[in-house]
Amino acid sequence: MDKINRRQFICCSAALLATPLSAQAFWPFSGKDAVASGATDIRGEIFKGDAPKTLWKWSHEGYHYGKLERKRVMCGICPNHCLLSPGDRSVCRSRVNLDGKLYSLAYGDPCSVNVDPVEKKPLYHFKPRAKVFSIAATGCNFRCLNCQNWEISQVRPEDVRHYDLFPPQVVAETQRTGSEAIAYTYSEAITFFEYMIDTARLARKQGIDNLLISNGYINRKPLLDLCEVLDGANINLKSFDDAIYRKLNGGRLEPVLNTFKTLHTQGVHFEMTNLLVPGYVDDEDMAKRMCQWILENLGPNYPLHFLRFFPKYKLNRLAPTPISTLARFRELAINEGIRYVYLGNLPMHEGNNTYCHNCKKLLIERQGYFIPVFNMIGNRCKFCKTVIPGVWRDEKKL
């Protein structure tokens, strides 16, 4: 297994927990299954220039794009609306215009594959202790200065070694590893939309859950298609200020808020993460406005995770978020009325635990990714019988 695939990528700026996973937690394939960087295409030619001259085995025509005059195309997957002439490559680096058609080059060629605990996503209200088959192809539609996974998110598919794993094989490997769900994660899953949705549709037929771990920067139509096969999501709400979104992430706030509204109306369980980047996002007034927007538009039940920032990528000189700041933001959000507020990248803190919003008793204790205490019966608090929001297993299966 090559250097990149051996790394444990983290989920969308989340989960920097130092807790090592056991050897069994790695996807148990050997290096020979990975395809070498600079791989040849199906006709035996090597990519040259920005766009390939011919398609490779891991190409797939886009599902959401428009054809324009002079063989130009416009991608409809995300609000970047890339307008590409023949030979051009997209902002997310994984799509090209080849002779007037839009192709994704990230189909069946994940660069990172692991079996993770669902808590790592982080998803705290979705079938605790579930094993999740996690895949990522390269690409991202953002340019976050603090990207945790820039080695795979900010490169082209042909720049890294990857696996040869088409949707039926992903489903088969999910079953073989005893995983209950597939997570589309690590880089930005929206940019490998075709690979993700084809896999998710097959998985749904086999009773496997689908989890989207994402920045939420997607247009309504592809998101609605995705909602038909999504069981859960963790969406990174990077800040609550459009100017900061533009400066820190290279995106915009409003489309992400629209994603939350769509997931809410479509009945998809989701959790929100907010990485407290010092000097950018650790503003209490902004957090208050964010909580008020959540309460007005989504209600109090969706879990909110405040994550601790650690220096990374282009923000490698910033100090980590002080623990006192994290505790203050958690208290603020709880006081505003959000029922389930967590702290991430901060193991062994009480902010990792779940407390019933009604009787306040401890429901789930988390020590890293381990759960030593579980006080729920089905979807209810064991003590006061209140229904806890989320997706829970049948009690008998635990």
Contacting residues toward ligand SF4, per CB under 6 A: 75, 77-78, 80-82, 90-92, 95, 141, 191
Identify which of residues 75 and 364 has a Cβ nearer to ligand SF4 in the complex: 75
Helical packing angle, 253-266 and 220-227, nearest 10°: 30
CB of 245 to ligand SF4, least distance (A): 15
Closest separation in Å from C-beta 223 to ligand SF4: 12
Q: Measure the CA–CA gap between 62 and 95, rounded to whole angstroms.
A: 8
Q: How far is the CB of 226 from ligand SF4 (least distance, A)?
A: 13
95/156 with CB nearer ligand SF4: 95
Give DSSP secondary structure letters for 324-340.
Answer: HHHHHHHHHHHHHT-S-
Q: How many CB atoms lie within 10 A of CB 392?
A: 19
Nearer to ligand SF4, 90 or 236 (CB): 90
Which residue, chain included where needed, has tokens 């094993």? 131
Name every residue whose Cβ is closer than 8 Å to that of residue 66 and which is 6 or more positions away in sequence.
73, 74, 76
Our CB check for ligand SF4 shows the closer of 141 and 239 to be 141
Contact between residue 340 and residue 301 where contact means Cβ atoms under 8 Å apart: yes
SS3 158: helix
CB of 91 to ligand SF4, least distance (A): 4
Nearer to ligand SF4, 188 or 209 (CB): 188
Looking at the DSSP assignment, which residues form a beta bridge with residue 279? none
Strand 370-374 with 376-377, pairing: unpaired
Q: CB of 362: closest distance to ligand SF4 in angstroms?
A: 42
Question: Which of 123/189 has CB closer to ligand SF4?
Answer: 189
Query: Is the peptide bond between 122 and the residue preceding it cis, with omega within 30 degrees of 0?
Result: yes
Q: What is the DSSP letter of 388?
A: P
Q: Which residue has the tokens 């400066």?
A: 247
Choose between 142 and 163: whose C-beta lies nearer to ligand SF4: 142
> Closest separation between CB of residue 216 and ligand SF4, Å?
13
- Output the smallest distance, CB 74 to ligand SF4, in A: 8
Quick one: tokens of 350?
């009480």
The DSSP output letter for 246 is I
Least distance in angstroms from the C-beta of 306 to ligand SF4: 28
* Nearest distance in Å: CB 88, ligand SF4: 10
Q: Which residues pair with 374 in a beta bridge?
A: 364
For 373, the token pair is: 């205490």
Residues in the chain: 398
CB 212 within 8 A of CB 39: no
Closer to ligand SF4 by CB, 167 or 222: give it.
Answer: 222
Residue with smaller CB distance to ligand SF4, 90 or 239 = 90
Q: Which two tokens stand for residue 205?
A: 């037929």
How far apart are CB 153 and ligand SF4 at their closest, in Å? Answer: 12
Q: Residues near 243 by Cβ (< 8 Å), separated by ≥ 6?
A: none
Nearer to ligand SF4 (CB atom), residue 104 or residue 273: 104
DSSP secondary structure letters along 254-308? HHHHHHHHHHHHHT-EEEEEEEE-TTTT--HHHHHHHHHHHHHHT-S-S-EEEEE
The token pair at 311 is 């220096």
